[in-house]
Structure 1
Amino acid sequence: MEFANSPQPSLSTPATSISSSDEQVPVVKFTTIKELFQVIDKTRSDVLIASDISPKDVDEIHSARDKAGRGFRLSYISPLTEKMLITIPSRPHEAAHENIHKFIMFRIYGMGLDDRWSTEGATRYKSSEIQGSGSEPDKAGKPIPERPEDGWPTLVIEAGYSQSMASLRATMEWWFRASNHEVKIVLLIKVNQIQQSLVIERWEEVHPTARLGATTTRSVSPLRPDCRQEITITKDTSSNPATYQVNSTDLVLPFRLLFLREPGPQEGDIVVTTAELQRCAAKVWYRRGQA
């Protein structure tokens, strides 16, 4: 799969490459860790692509980054192409996922489940399904004790600013496949700086079914990602202060997928209301000095 400017991801092929076809993503050929860090410090983008990267290089970059206390995140989803996506936190990028995650946690805590949920942050996950690949999410979480300490999250949140939505969708597919379907929900949040909007997509995996002939017999094929909800929040600058229009209903995360069980008394799906989504969008633009 490539990071391509297509409206939908390719869901029939495994992750194979990262391309430089994002909106304005710089590409740098890897030589040394010192030079890579210098490029990261100078770039104005919130993402860049490093080429000519080996799995050994990735491990050494992780080690050097952690030792130096650097905050960028690394996604090496396809060793075959020797390319790595580096996310450098920016204010709008971080605001996009931090505020959505905050409201999700409000709901979880409100149900008294704070001791049954582990927020993973930018933990590094290495795949046994795609040898040599690994990634660090913007945000992630999982139920405890249903998932072990070293287990995959059930929820992953990925945000993009310079990174295109198609690129985010490619990363989404990697999470499902690399985790051997242990990841249950991937939230994608795209900040569109030109249209001044946020696009949120909630992805889950489904069993596609096909009707055979005129009968009701169905054949079940392997799981595939499916966009279960798409929400666009647009900034309206005709008013002062600016307002934010939401084109959909509340964002809903199924409880059973997050916690791997049916909800009990006083428990239910996690809902982020349209009013809260508006507040999330306002925080993104405020932090850019535009609200």
Structure 2
Amino acid sequence: MIAPSGLKEPDSSFAPVSRPSEDAWPTLVLETVLSHSQMRLVADARWWLENAGGEVKIVIAVSVSWANMRFHIEKWENVSPPNGGVSCAHQNVPRPTPTKTQEIDIVGNVVTGAPLKLEFEKLMLRKPGAGEGDIILDMQDLQDFTTNFWHYTQ
């Protein structure tokens, strides 16, 4: 999937069936980097949220360090500033700002900051039906993933 502007391609993305067009923005973007490119990763996360006009709801930014056997996961979302007394008559309402809303570190088999929660309504753009709900990756899920990752990439 290439961004509708044609300027950026995510490492991976998800768009619900309600956005069937190839040139529609995804609701979830995954960006990854190896080693010490954290600044590039943050810039990528911000780019998706700043340029999608609110269409991209969540960016998951993952940094992998082989030397330390470390995963650093950040969840980014547009966050509206609190209403600091802005009245309805006042038209200069602050715009949502790309904000890191969660941070998870996995070093070896030690996970801090879990669980990772991906809200159903943000991904699917609708309320959950029977048997549907948020995607929650708990500590065990994250440990299992990283254990398998390191095992199969050695």
TM-score interval for Structure 1 and Structure 2 normalised by the shorter chain: 0.7 to 0.9
Structure 1 equivalent of residue 127 of structure 2: 262
Larger-Rg structure: 1
AA in 2 matched with 1:139:
S
Structure 2 equivalent of residue 176 of structure 1: 49
**Secondary structure, counterpart of 1:125 in structure 2:** coil
Aligned counterpart in structure 2 of residue 143 of structure 1, from 4, 13, 16: 16
Equivalent-residue separation in structure 1 for 2:2 and 2:114 (angstroms): 33
Q: Deviations over 1:187-218 (max 9, x none)?
A: 0111022322101111111111253xxxxx24
AA in 1 matched with 2:30:
I
- 1:251 deviation in Å? 0.9
Indicate the structure with greater helix content. Answer: 1
Aligned counterpart in structure 2 of residue 159 of structure 1, from 32, 51, 60: 32
Structure 1 equivalent of residue 90 of structure 2: none
CA contact (8 A) 2:36 2:65 kept: no
AA in 1 matched with 2:59:
V
Equivalent-residue separation in structure 2 for 1:180 and 1:248 (angstroms): 29
CA contact (8 A) 1:209 1:218 kept: no
AA in 1 matched with 2:19:
R
Equivalent-residue separation in structure 2 for 1:210 and 1:165 (angstroms): 31
The CA RMSD over aligned residues, in Å, is: 1.8
AA in 1 matched with 2:61:
L
List gaps (5 residues or longer) in structure 2: 88-92
- 1:258 deviation in Å? 0.3
Q: Does 1:224 align with 2:62?
A: no
- 1:280 deviation in Å? 1.6
Equivalent-residue separation in structure 2 for 1:200 and 1:162 (angstroms): 13
**Secondary structure, counterpart of 1:225 in structure 2:** strand
Aligned counterpart in structure 1 of residue 3 of structure 2, from 88, 110, 125: 125
The TM-score with structure 1 as length reference comes to 0.48
Structure 2 equivalent of residue 191 of structure 1: 64
CA contact (8 A) 2:50 2:98 kept: no
AA in 1 matched with 2:143:
Q
AA in 1 matched with 2:50:
R
Aligned counterpart in structure 1 of residue 145 of structure 2, from 280, 283, 289: 280
- 1:262 deviation in Å? 1.7
Aligned length: 148
Percent same amino acid among aligned pairs? 37
Structure 2 equivalent of residue 248 of structure 1: 113
Equivalent-residue separation in structure 2 for 1:151 and 1:183 (angstroms): 10
Structure 1 equivalent of residue 78 of structure 2: 205
**Secondary structure, counterpart of 1:134 in structure 2:** coil
Q: Spell out the pairing of 1:46-125 with structure 2 (5 A cutoff).
A: 123-125=1-3
Compared CA separation, residues 173 and 154, structure 1 to 2 (3 A):
same
Equivalent-residue separation in structure 1 for 2:83 and 2:67 (angstroms): 40
Equivalent-residue separation in structure 2 for 1:255 and 1:288 (angstroms): 31
CA contact (8 A) 2:114 2:137 kept: no
Compared CA separation, residues 141 and 272, structure 1 to 2 (3 A):
same
Q: Spell out the pairing of 1:18-57 with structure 2 (5 A cutoff).
A: none
